[in-house]
Amino acid sequence: MAQLPTAAQRPTNVRYIVLLFLGVLAFITYFDRVCISSAQHVIQHDLNLTDGQLSLVFSGFWLTYALFEIPSGWISDRFGSRRALSRIVLAWSIFTALSGAAMGFISLLTYRLLFGAGEAGAFPNLARVQSRWFSKASQGRIGGALWCISRWGGALSFILFPKLLAALDSKPFRKQFDGLPFIGGLATIPSWRMGFWICGLVGLVWVMLFYPWFRDNPSHKRSVNQAELDLIQAGSAGQDLHGQVRMSRFEWRALFSSPNLWGIAIAYMCGSFSWSFFVSWMPKYMHDVQNPSERIAGLLNTGPLLVGGVACVLGGWLSDIAVRRTGNARWGRAIFPIIGFGTAATAMAGIAFAKTPTQAFVLMCIGSFGNDIGQGAEWASVISVGGMFAGTAFGFINMVANVGGNTLQPPIGQAIFNHAGWHTLFWVYGAVYLTASLIWTRVNPTRRFYVDEGSRGANG
């Protein structure tokens, strides 16, 4: 009979605490992005914003978020994710809070631009930490889990943020501040402003807990034993656990000239363009076109993102299984975005024919599921292609995806539905998703964008 491992032989579980930190970060990242959409009607009314101005507010975040992705990804590779993530969360929390102080279109746009610049690099750093703290065999499901949590952060913002605002608007809460010196003004301040302040405070608490505890290199964390370190390094995912790496001019040149990276980036851009409907114009479409009752409106706006979160976990898990059982990492990853984006294309185009809120809701859920079933596989692919420069590589991909996708969709979307109708917009979403599916037939997720030399290992 085999002997049970001794306590000294059992791996510690520090990596799961790391996963908890990453999960909370993924949640608040999307919650803070999307909460403005869940309160867009009251903000638009209070600040007297037009649809065009609101679209620029939505786009402003994505523009600066995209432009600062490569610098933030490079900073993480050069100086480590511990410092980079702490800076990122601190910056975005401050500018999220300042959004609650906006007095009109210009100030709100300014704060959203700064918020985007501050949050840039969050997901490249998540990818970098994942590549160093988790084994190669688990990359798909870990990535899927993080994307699930991020989607649910966006989804639950449609429920939790309005509930928070309702609590802040309640008479018992307001009455506590009547007549008090210095803070008596809180009794009359609009609840959406205080909501942004609270969101900013949550991020500050995360930084205060994360920075003293986390280490970029698992071997530098005293509570990680050798057994856990061996698990992390299994399958060579942990081939480079150094906190800092430098990119040569040849690697920078390869970053911007790799057909593989460009393929992934453009596919991400197409997916981002169509998916950003769910965090920008979905509430307006449901309110203006389908007009569901207030009792179920929040659920209808939340459902597609919740379903997408489930797809993230399922797709990442299935992708890891496909790679392990077939031994074919290329198709074990690529098949999920190929099928997923194709499904999303059909569903989004079909919304043009929806006659009831239920029909629109079901098709949106299918579209969100199709978009996200490949997220875990795509995330693992970027980590594989990026290698030791996963942060910078993901920054490049996120830059392209967000400049051409999330940044352009809000103004293009509002121009289309205002001039050509909602049905035309959904046909556009379908065509863009189909393009992403076709691109993934040409992507090779196993090929590094750079050539490894010397101690950097063999070319993957």
Question: Could you report the per-residue pLDDT of 127-137, keeping only the tens digit for each?
Answer: 888 888 888 77
pLDDT of residue 389: 82
CATH of the domain at 428: 1.20.1250.20
Residue 453 counted as domain residue: no
Percent of the chain with pLDDT over 70: 90
Give the chain's radius of gyration (CA, Å).
22
Residue 200 counted as domain residue: yes
pLDDT by residue (tens digit) across 92-125?
Answer: 899 989 988 889 899 999 999 999 888 888 888 8
pLDDT by residue (tens digit) across 355-403?
Answer: 998 999 999 999 999 999 998 888 888 888 887 787 788 888 888 888 8
Residue 265 counted as domain residue: yes
pLDDT of residue 414: 87
pLDDT > 80? residue 8: no
Residue 239 counted as domain residue: no
Would you state the structure tokens that stand for residue 49, as one six-digit string? 């914003």
pLDDT of residue 460: 34
| pTM (whole model) above 0.85 | no
Residue 11 counted as domain residue: no
pLDDT of residue 311: 92
Q: How far apart are CA 262 and CA 99, in angstroms?
A: 34
Q: How far apart are CA 417 and CA 413, in angstroms?
A: 6
pLDDT of residue 454: 44
Closest CA relative to residue 200, chosen from 86, 95, 279, 103:
95
Residues contacting 354, CB < 8 A, separation 6+: 290, 360, 363
- Segments forming the whole domain that contains residue 163: 16-214+251-448
Residue 294 counted as domain residue: yes
pLDDT > 90? residue 295: no
The arithmetic mean of pLDDT across residues 309-317, rounded, is 89
Tell me the pLDDT band of 182, cut-offs 50, 70 and 90. Answer: low
Return the H-helix or E-strand segment holding 78. Answer: helix 69-79
Closest CA relative to residue 40, chosen from 30, 28, 49:
49
pLDDT of residue 5: 47
- Per the structure, the count of domains in the chain is 1
Q: 43 or 186: whose pLDDT is higher?
A: 43
Return the amino acid letter for 141: R
Mean per-residue pLDDT over the chain, rounded: 84
Q: How far apart are CA 400 and CA 245, in angstroms?
A: 23
Q: Rounded to an integer, what is the distance from CA 56 to the centroid of its chain?
A: 20
pLDDT of residue 363: 96
Residue 229 counted as domain residue: no
Burial 97-116 (b: 16+ CB within 10 A, else e): bbbbebeebeebbebbbbbb
pLDDT of residue 180: 63
Residue 87 counted as domain residue: yes
The arithmetic mean of pLDDT across residues 196-224, rounded, is 92
The arithmetic mean of pLDDT across residues 234-259, rounded, is 71
pLDDT > 60? residue 455: no
For residue 249, the tally of other CB atoms under 10 A from its CB is 7
pLDDT of residue 456: 44
